[in-house]
Structure 1
Amino acid sequence: MSETGTGAASQTGPQTGGVREVKSAGRTVELLEVLAARGDRPARLRELAEELGVPRSSMYALLQTLIDRGWVRTDATGSLYGIGIRALLTGTSYLDSDPRVRAARPYLDEASDALGETIHLGRLDGANVVYLATRESHEYLRTFSRVGRRFPAHAGALGKALLAERPDDQLPLGGDGLEALTPNTRTDRAALAADLAATRERGYAVDREEGVLGIAGFGFALRYDAPATDAISCSVPVARLTPEHEGRIVAVMREVRGKIESGVPHTNGAPDWRA
Structure 2
Amino acid sequence: MLEKRGVRGVKSAVRTVALLELLAGRGDRPSRLDELAEELNVPRSSMHQLLQTLVDCGWVRTDSTGSLYGIGIRALLTGTSYLDGDPQVRAARPYLDEASDALGETIHLARLDGPDVIYLATRESHEYLRSISRVGRRIPAHAGALGKALLAERSDDELPLPEGPLTAFTENTHTGRDTLLADLAGVRERGYSIDREETVTGIAGFGFTLRYDTPAIDAISCSIPVARLTEEREARIVSVMREIRTKIETLASPAPGAPDWR
Aligned to 1:43: 31
Alignment of 1:123-272 (within 5 A): 123-272=111-260
Matched letter for residue 53 of structure 2: T
Bigger radius of gyration, 1 or 2? 1
How far does residue 177 in structure 1 lie from its aligned partner after superposition?
A: 1.5
- Give the TM-score normalised by the residue count of structure 1: 0.93
CA deviation vs aligned residue, 1:164-199 (integer Å, no higher than 9, x gap): 000011110121310110001111111000000000
Aligned to 2:102: 114
Distance 1:151 1:19 in 2: 29
Matched letter for residue 225 of structure 1: D
The root-mean-square deviation of aligned C-alpha atoms, in Å, is 1.0
Identity of aligned residues (%): 76
Q: Residues 265 and 201 (structure 1 numbering): CA distance in 2 closer, same or farther, change over 3 Å?
A: closer
Partner SS for 2:139: strand
Q: Is the 8 A contact 2:212 2:253 kept in 1?
A: no
Q: How many residues of Structure 1 are paired with residues of Structure 2 in the alignment?
A: 261
Partner SS for 1:19: coil
Q: Residues 30 and 253 (structure 1 numbering): CA distance in 2 closer, same or farther, change over 3 Å?
A: same
Stretch moving more, 169-178 or 247-256: 169-178
Q: Is the 8 A contact 2:212 2:254 kept in 1?
A: no
Distance 1:25 1:270 in 2: 28
Residue ranges of structure 2 left out of the alignment (5+ in a row): none
Q: Is the 8 A contact 1:203 1:220 kept in 2?
A: yes
Partner SS for 1:259: helix
CA deviation vs aligned residue, 1:196-221 (integer Å, no higher than 9, x gap): 00000000000000110000000000
Aligned to 1:84: 72
Matched letter for residue 226 of structure 2: V
Residue ranges of structure 1 left out of the alignment (5+ in a row): 1-13
Matched letter for residue 235 of structure 1: S
Aligned to 2:21: 33
CA deviation vs aligned residue, 1:4-25 (integer Å, no higher than 9, x gap): xxxxxxxxxx845111110000
